[in-house]
Amino acid sequence: MLFGFILNKLNNTQNITQLIIGETATILEFSNGFVACKLMSMGLLSGTSITLVRKSPFGGAYYIKTENHYIGLRTNEAEHVLLMKNS
């Protein structure tokens, strides 16, 4: 657990739920095939840069933005989008 956390820190990776509002990061990979298939069909690929616009008022959903569109995701989908922080 702890080791994984440290590794994450070292590699500078995180998922969408760990972003703070307004933060931008680049998609590294997806940790779930179904989510990957759907999001890639919608134009989110590894290498795509995304920004977290907002969290939903009652929680549970994330509103992200890419270069040319906006997408809403639930927590259990957002978790599977692994990101590389833009530095």
Write out the residues near other proteins by the rule CB under 8 A: 33-43, 45, 53-61, 63, 65, 67-74, 77
Tell me how far, at minimum, the Cβ of 48 lies from other proteins, in Å. 10
Nearest CB to other proteins, comparing residues 4 and 47: 47
User: In this complex, which beta carbon is closest to other proteins, that of residue 14 or of residue 73?
Assistant: 73
Distances (CA, A) of 34 to 24, 53, 62, 77, 84: 24, 24, 18, 9, 21
Minimum Å distance from CB 44 to other proteins?
Answer: 9
SS3 67: coil
β-bridge partners, 83: 14, 27
Listed residue (43, 51, 46, 41) closest to 81, CA to CA:
46
Kindly state the smallest distance separating residue 62's Cβ from other proteins, in Å. Answer: 9
